[in-house]
Structure 1
């Protein structure tokens, strides 16, 4: 029996037939596909292939029916697949099958490669690449003209126009060339060819900047990697060439827009990029190809998420809750609702509030997800959509979002409102005590940027101070004040020399204190599976002191040695000095472990934490740094009734160095700043806590009249507890241990809201 396959290949946009393409037909088999035949398309794009049973039936012909047919369309030199139906098999094909093949014009912009490996199409890509920053430098133009002459393309009409430098290559045009060149499944050879060509362009005067050069130079380290890893790494690093801060600019502009409007308002640098390229960027972003995957840390043990949202009354208690302790303890933290896209960082998970309400010596528990726009959309799709910090963002911006605000870092209580916060996102309003999400909060439309995760409330005036940082364009820092009744009354820009991450700040009675640390925003690091923030060991750190209601003209900056300050305990004024109490680090890896070849942990940044005091003399300008304690600790806190005022006691969580690289804390420390002494409350063997919060005794006179509250996980019994510690009997047994009805994963910041 003979079989016939007919068809026509044509350009999708015009309907014109495409001649001289190779069409191959195959029978899909389990072990090896049988080639049934091939043909060249004629002047109208038509083709015909004939074959018989012998072409697809072998030794087991009695068990085999007609072929499971698919076709492949290739360029005349067979170097590139333009079209394939392998994913749409025609099972048990009939004697006569017909295919109509429409190929988009952009796919037909195939490579015209000469023997040297650089042809017209590749030269066009180099020209477009030179224009990517909007300027064709003289050195670049001279190089490209010389290359065109060398390859016999100097008189090509299209190349002559492109090299006239009178008409810039538009972004969308460049990406269409790139998409056509790479196709759907580029191999190592294509990427290496592209890299070699781009490197020629880079190492001339006026080429790429240093970070982009470094990304391309990193190609040399990939040769020993497995092929599948090497290709993904090549793709990620190549795409990183075209990244800049613009995607974050889009993110900032759309942060406050509702989901229904956001998709139509994502604009700017990537607006004209073809969907195929954007989708390819996103697919690359989802591949854990380079970095050592920290997933095993942050999705296992007590870092692992829980699934249930529950409400339980009358919890079991070991000991006795103080009758005067009345209110709600809240702790925010990451809890991804679905398996992550690509690499997972601890900062990525969807925010979940865990709350324990204490009234009349009894306790109840409830936990609720913070239902941000991104959370709801992923819930609807029943899968994660957006990758996290260790991945490239979604350049195709599904639902108008390139990144998701997980609202997972902390919470704040002010003017009768409960807000959940993330460093570079909008705050979300929650109900109390129900912990249901009420939506984004923008202070009556006055907040047009993000809100930091650690706002400060003045206990005397009731004002709340916060800031927002921009990783894109000046102003890199904006400072805001909210009145005691919840009205946003002031937002002023503050000049910074470059965009930096600013995890915390401080206030005194009359001043606001900013921390300009060398934590630089570097979005291209995500292309290498690294967090997009870099600690610059060569840059000085600065402390900025601003009169509370001042502006950029009234801020004073004071230089301190290179370090990172993540969390502040307090600040206050003393004569002509401003005193700042905080934990400092020698450097920062952002909870991403580094390993040597033997799998041993290197550079565990938490072991460099020290409790420190800075004395800034506003008269002389002198700054003095003093180490209070060399024992590594974090999450410092005080009795918040003394925020911005002189403090005697500071409480902090001690780092469990033996657990590295896991960021675990095995005790609380109480520092007496007057005597220089300290006390330790041990959680016990195999028991780990986190951030603690001071709940003051109503009517108490002493600064330490009250209790420390923190969640503790017992890794032996696999049980979570809320531990209540008498601050005046700090080393003694806990006053009470409230048994949680389910596991409470490790998280970030907590607060106490009195009844």
Structure 2
């Protein structure tokens, strides 16, 4: 018999897992679902199968569960499945948790020491005909796009032997998927990996370089001409871990280091820019502007995690500008909005290119749980105008995903899709908003009878 889950913040409310897999062939819809929405919204997030072995469970380490909403002809069907990683299968066979948090050997069952503890719980996207469940510490895991059955790790013909980021960038111009990995030479090492998979799914490049220090590098930036690697002072240390201290810690004295390399060159041409300490989990977009490289990021003044004095106000959208023709090794930073939020998204047909519509989640109610969001924002980056959509107090929403109205629609002409937790009813909806008029509220609301637990990222895959 498996053990009950402890009552901790990341295992309570809508952070708590749902303990079933299910299918719903025809969900109720309030309003009218746009007929142009033909495809599937996939969402991924942590959903632990069993109560954790460690006393201090963290949201980041739960088993990945994928939720799929398939839309066609104004109707929606739903399916959810756990990703069958090695960890999931070994623990399912045992009937209880075997792996310690963050791979901690002190709390891992001896029978699985040294085994792959990946959870595939952070992102999910489609590239070159493969649906990939991603996290930043392990190989991608391929799922069947229809059934969500796990097909296994993807190593690109044995060429990829380590991790891939949870945030690869797909170039809309040439179809390449550009990725990186940190701690490439083992846990808490400064080694970094850079790679490129072509539009046909073939691994074409894999290079290695050294960062200034071991850092938790969750996201990065890609333009048509450059790749940017933010090495920020949330540092990893095996020595700390061996002393029983947190493996990651905020060390602001190390400052921020941004490595920029040409996409048509190599890591030997890396140029490093430096600035004051800050932290970034997520990037909105980056592009080239003449001799300058510009990146819009959600910037914290200090790390919100593994930091006793962490930034409790949230990240703000900030523009980083790098002068590639100048001799300075510094860069400029300018906040574009004064509202704190997270999970930035945009019309990804403009990824790596100039753009002017951005969307992100906000927390406006003081009563909203830490790590949850109750509002959406649309920022027109040319005019500076912001529109918002706020949920009733007690409800919370996911990262918004943009879907264009048509393949040739103008930038920003489309829909925003987000899952919403209804606090009073303890269940979830999927809302569809007109991306250019979010203040008007949903044009359609798709109702579920159960919760979709708070997760991380999702993507839309249009029907062929």
Q: Distance in 2 between matches of 1:447 and 1:612?
A: 33
Give the structure with higher Rg (CA).
1
8 Å contact from structure 1 (residues 522, 533) kept in 2: yes
Alignment partner of 2:442: what SS? coil
Q: CA deviation at 1:347?
A: 0.9
1:581 — aligned with what? 296
Tell me the equivalent position of 2:92. 379
Aligned residue number for residue 459 of structure 1: 172
Deviation at 1:498, TM superposition (A): 2.1
Structure 1 residues 540, 452: CA separation in 2 closer, same or farther (over 3 Å shift)? same
Pick closer, same or farther for the CA change 1:606–1:317 going to 2, 3 Å.
farther
2:410 is equivalent to residue 698 of structure 1: no
Structure 2 gaps, min length 5: none
Query: d(CA) in 1 for partners of 2:213 and 2:429?
Result: 43
Pick aligned residue for 1:335 from 43, 47, 50: 47
Q: CA RMSD in A?
A: 2.1
The 1-side partners of 2:52 and 2:80 are apart by: 21
Cα deviation, residue 469, structure 1: 1.2
- Is 1:411 matched with 2:119? no
Q: Which has the higher contact order (CA 8 A, sep 6+)?
A: 2
Partner Cα separation in structure 2 for residue 678 and residue 317 of structure 1: 28
| Equivalent residue, structure 2, for 1:308 | 20
Say which SS state the counterpart of residue 544 (structure 1) adopts. Answer: strand
Unaligned 5+ segments in structure 1 are 1-292, 595-602
Are positions 1:469 and 2:186 aligned together? no
Which of the residues 309, 319, 324 maps onto 1:618?
324
SS in 2 for 1:356: strand
**1:308-357: per-residue Cα shift (whole Å, max 9, x none)?**
10011110011111000111111111111111101211011110001100
User: How do residues 62-461 of structure 1 correspond to structure 2 at under 5 angstroms?
Assistant: 296-342=8-54, 343-389=56-102, 392-393=105-106, 397-401=110-114, 404-461=117-174
The 8 Å contact of residues 368 and 394 in structure 2, kept in 1 or not, is answered as: no
Q: 1:728 aligns with which of 427, 436, 441?
A: 436
SS at match of 1:737: strand
* Corresponding position: 1:488 with 2:203: yes
Indicate the structure with greater helix content: 1
- Structure 2 equivalent of residue 569 of structure 1: 284
User: Do the aligned partners of 1:387 and 1:403 also contact (CA within 8 Å) in 2?
Assistant: no
CA gap of 1:573–1:295, structure 2 versus 1, over 3 A, is: farther
Q: Which structure carries more strand by proportion?
A: 2
Deviations 1:483-510 (A, max 9, x none): 1100001001122122211100011111
Distance 1:340 1:474 in 2: 27
User: Residue by residue, what CA displacement relative to the aligned partner does 1:235-286 show, whole Å, maximum 9, x if unpaired?
Assistant: xxxxxxxxxxxxxxxxxxxxxxxxxxxxxxxxxxxxxxxxxxxxxxxxxxxx
Deviation at 1:583, TM superposition (A): 0.4
Is the Cα contact below 8 Å between 1:666 and 1:689 reproduced in 2?
yes
Distance 1:730 1:387, change over 3 A: same
Q: 1:694 to 1:582 in 2, by over 3 A?
A: same
Q: Give the secondary structure class of the aligned counterpart of 1:698.
A: coil
Q: List per-residue Cα deviations over 1:102-122 (Å, max 9, x = no partner).
A: xxxxxxxxxxxxxxxxxxxxx
Kindly state the Cα deviation for residue 526 of structure 1 after the two structures are TM-superposed: 4.8
Q: Secondary structure at the match of 1:562?
A: coil
Q: Using the alignment, how far apart are the partners of 1:502 and 1:548 within structure 2?
A: 19
- For 1:313 and 1:696, the matched residues in 2 are separated by 25
Task: Tell me, yes or no, if the aligned pair for 2:197 and 2:205 is still in contact at 8 Å.
Answer: yes
Structure 1 pair 629–728 and aligned structure 2 pair: CA distance change class (3 A): same
Aligned to 2:462: 754
What is the TM-score normalised by the length of structure 1? 0.58
Instruction: Provide the C-alpha distance between the structure 2 equivalents of 1:397 and 1:386, rounded to a whole number of angstroms.
Output: 9
Distance (Å, rounded) in 2 between the aligned partners of 1:505 and 1:638: 16
Residue deviations 1:671-717, cap 9 Å, x none? 11111121111122221012111011114432111111111101012
**Equivalent in the alignment of 1:499:** 214
| CA offset digits 1:189-241 (Å, max 9, x no partner) | xxxxxxxxxxxxxxxxxxxxxxxxxxxxxxxxxxxxxxxxxxxxxxxxxxxxx
Offset of residue 525 of structure 1? 4.5
Aligned to 2:266: 551
Distance 1:402 1:535 in 2: 29
TM-score (normalised: structure 2): 0.93
- Secondary structure of 2:418's partner? strand
Please tell me whether the aligned partners of residues 394 and 402 of structure 1 are also in contact (alpha carbons under 8 angstroms): no
CA offsets per residue over residues 408-443 of structure 1, 9 Å max, x none?
A: 111121001011111111111100121110111101
Structure 1 residue 396, shift from structure 2 partner: 6.7
Structure 1 residues 497 and 445 mapped into 2: Cα distance closer, same or farther (>3 Å)? Answer: same
Distance 1:729 1:697 in 2: 14
Q: For the Cα contact (< 8 Å) 1:687–1:713, is it kept in 2?
A: yes
Q: How many residues align?
A: 454
Q: Is 1:650 aligned to residue 362 of structure 2? A: no
Offset, 1:733: 2.0
